[in-house]
Amino acid sequence: MDPKFILISEEIIKRIKEGDLAPGDKVPSENELIKTFKVSNTTARKSLLNLETLGWVRRIKGKGTFVLNRTGDHKIVRTLGSVESTRKGFNESLTQEGFEPKNIVIEKTILQEGISTMIQHKQLTLEGPVLKIRILRYADDDILKDETRYISLKQCPKIERLSPEISFFKTYEQTYHIKIKTIEQTLKTTIFDNNTPDNYFENDQPLPIFILDGAVIAEDGNIIEIEHSFYSGDKYQFGIIAHPNY
């Protein structure tokens, strides 16, 4: 019979294969394994080390052990409307999945007049002054996302001084103590080719692109952020969470 730590590893691998644990999810800690499987801390530690040796997980010091992205094409799966996914931010999510994130700011300006957009058939207006920040997001030197955010400087003064590697959503909550009510998003598609103006994806062939428009709205009704971003269609998949009312 296989050692106990092997059996525990196999149980966690089964959960990963069945989708119960997705790329970027945190696997049970040593203490949780000890409690669940009634084993010693040595056995629990060996279980996690075995998972890491086999390439299923990655330990991040001080944070935990996370499921790596092992899909053949390394698709990044994101869920629309997920507060938890949004709270993590780009860098933290990719790091937990085993990628090396990189961020290049190509524009950072302040718009005194503000900005308006249509999301879910509603006209939303973000009053000025507004920080416009455009960032190219990479994973392992592959560009994944061309992201533009418009952020209220009334609600988030001096946010332009912070690093683009932060989780903006988490910063709204923790630094500016804003209570978020909702995230409203729309998703559509287009094709980028060599003739597409302002195309940073460096694609030689036509590339499917997801266009995400979103707004972060506080409990007091103020709009904190408007996003307009392009996601590489060959790198991303999007999921949707539905909450039926009974």
- Rounded to 10°, the helix 41-53/30-37 angle is 120
Contact at 8 Å (CB) between 172 and 156? Answer: yes
Is 246 inside any structural domain? no
- What per-residue confidence (pLDDT) applies to 79? 78
Each as own residue / partner, the long-range contacts of residues 82-91 (CB below 8 Å, 24 or more positions apart, any chain) are 82/241, 83/169, 83/180, 83/183, 86/169, 86/183, 87/167, 87/169, 87/170, 87/173, 88/24, 88/167, 88/170, 89/166, 89/167, 89/168, 89/169, 89/170, 90/137, 90/145, 90/147, 90/167, 91/165, 91/167
Is the pLDDT assigned to residue 225 strictly greater than 70? yes
Q: What angle do CA 167, 172, 175 make, to 5 degrees?
A: 95
Same domain, 124 and 211: yes
Over range 41-65, report the average pLDDT: 90
- What per-residue confidence (pLDDT) applies to 126? 94
- What per-residue confidence (pLDDT) applies to 73? 60
Q: Give me the CATH number covering residue 23.
A: 1.10.10.10
Best CA proximity match to 149, nearest among 130, 162, 173, 165:
130
Contact at 8 Å (CB) between 116 and 126? Answer: yes
- What per-residue confidence (pLDDT) applies to 27? 93
Phi, psi torsion values for 130, nearest 5 degrees: -130, 135
Contact at 8 Å (CB) between 137 and 101? Answer: yes
Per-residue pLDDT of 87-137, as tens digits, reads: 888 998 888 888 899 999 999 999 999 999 888 888 999 999 999 999 999
Same domain, 96 and 45: no
Going by pLDDT thresholds of 50, 70 and 90, the confidence category of residue 245 is low
Is the pLDDT assigned to residue 71 strictly greater than 70? no
Same domain, 122 and 219: yes
- What per-residue confidence (pLDDT) applies to 76? 81
Domain boundary at 67, 101, 120, which? 67
Q: Give me the CATH number covering residue 179.
A: 3.40.1410.10
CA of 34: how far to CAs of 26, 41, 58, 144, 193, in Å?
16, 6, 19, 39, 53
Same domain, 61 and 86: no
Residues contacting residue 135 through CB under 8 Å, at least 6 positions apart? 103, 104, 105, 106, 147, 148, 149, 164
Report the alpha-carbon distance of residue 149 to residue 89 in Å, rounded: 13
Is 49 inside any structural domain? yes
Is the pLDDT assigned to residue 150 strictly greater than 70? yes
Same domain, 125 and 177: yes
Report the alpha-carbon distance of residue 222 to residue 219 in Å, rounded: 7
Same domain, 218 and 119: yes
Is 221 inside any structural domain? yes
> What's the mean per-residue pLDDT of the chain?
90
Same domain, 122 and 204: yes
Is 245 inside any structural domain? no
Domain boundary at 21, 42, 67, which? 67
Over range 229-233, report the average pLDDT: 95
- As for how many domains the chain has, the answer is 2
Dihedral Cα 159, 162, 165, 167, nearest 10 deg: -40
Best CA proximity match to 148, nearest among 37, 230, 205:
230
Domain boundary at 67, 85, 114, which? 67
Full residue range of the structural domain in which residue 31 is found: 4-67
Per-residue pLDDT of 76-100, as tens digits, reads: 878 776 777 788 889 988 888 888 9
Is 27 inside any structural domain? yes
Is 20 inside any structural domain? yes
Q: What angle do CA 27, 33, 34 make, to 5 degrees?
A: 155
Consecutive H or E run containing 30 = helix 30-37
